[in-house]
Amino acid sequence: MIYLKSDEEIELLRESNLLVARTLAEVAKAIKPGVSTLALDKIAETFIRDHKGEPAFLNYNGFPNSLCTSVNEQVVHGIPNNIPLKEGDIVSVDCGALLNGFYGDSAYTFEIGEVKPEVKALLEATKASLYKGIEKAVEGNRIGDIGYAVQEYCEARGYSVVREMVGHGVGRDLHEAPEVPNYGRRGNGIKLRKGMVIAIEPMINLGKRQILMEDDQWTIRTVDRKVSAHFEHTVAIGKNECDILSSFKFVEEVLTLQS
């Protein structure tokens, strides 16, 4: 069942997604070589609770933390730990919050210090592919149009698209129908309608697309251990354009000040 949201519900979803956006900016202020992902997790949990929200991921199906922090070859669902981040690492920080009965969900992949040029290029392409997908998230198009836009952009640049992990609907539940793959055929899949709210989240690998689950039963990594990037926005389908409910503005203001 796909739930179409009213304009009022979309505004509540915007509030929860902007809380996530501001939480990611708090993480951005602290992220640097020597900091652990567990320290970042504590910052995020405190910030969300201080702003009357609840961490969406904490205890979700047994997940032990408030952030998913996926370092280097980890694709998604990495569990925060005490290992310090080091120069040249990348880390996908995926954050969710529950506020006023609705969920926010967004992810940003951060560079730790100076990263290799080919890694920086992967991050830039992954982020650009997210916006290519968003361009197709309008009423009358289909889910396959979003996936095709992401896939075409990334594969044309020599990257591979993770198939098993997908985006999803967002609303009163963190994961709702429909699934939103990052690959597909134009004109295929569920028709997009005004009021649908979905998370689009490309997960793009520098090497091959194959992934596996680590022994912790959460962390997904690339089989070839080449790095993976991940960016995510929650968006509302509109008649002529997509309304991006989450935001990278706050994160990028912080990163600009630091550079």
For the four alpha carbons of 170, 238, 8 and 105, in that order, the dihedral sign comes to positive
Helices 143-155 and 117-135 meet at what angle, rounded to 10?
Answer: 160
Residue 86: which pLDDT band, with cuts at 50, 70 and 90? Answer: very high
Of 250, 245, 254, 229, give the one whose Cα is nearest residue 105. 245
Helix (H, G, I), strand (E, B) or coil at 7: helix
What does DSSP assign to residue 26? H
Residue 22 CB partners (closer than 8 Å, separation 6+)? 47, 51, 250
Residue 259: which pLDDT band, with cuts at 50, 70 and 90? Answer: confident
Domain boundaries, the chain: 7-258
Helix (H, G, I), strand (E, B) or coil at 113: coil
CA–CA–CA angle 202, 170, 68 (5° rounding): 55
Q: What is the CATH number of domain 7-258?
A: 3.90.230.10
pLDDT, the chain, mean: 98
Place of tokens 């080919």: 118
Residue 106 region by backbone torsions, left for phi larger than 0, else alpha for psi between -120 and 50, else beta: beta
pTM above 0.85, yes or no: yes
Report CA Rg, the chain: 17
What confidence tens digit (pLDDT) does each residue in 102-157 have? 999 999 999 999 999 999 999 999 999 999 999 999 999 999 999 999 999 999 99
- Containing H/E element for 229? strand 228-230
Tokens of 156: 């044309």
Is the pLDDT confidence value at 12 over 90?
yes
What confidence tens digit (pLDDT) does each residue in 19-46 have? 999 999 999 999 999 999 999 999 999 9
Helices 7-30 and 249-258 meet at what angle, rounded to 10?
Answer: 20
Of 153, 240, 157, 156, give the one whose Cα is nearest residue 200. 153
pLDDT score for 15: 98
- When pLDDT is averaged across residues 46-75 and rounded to a whole number, the result is 98
For the four alpha carbons of 200, 205, 210 and 215, in that order, the dihedral sign comes to negative
Burial label, 61 (beta-carbon count in 10 A; 0-12, 13-18, 19+): exposed
Return d(Cα 13, Cα 96) in angstroms, integer.
12
Return d(Cα 161, Cα 207) in angstroms, integer.
10
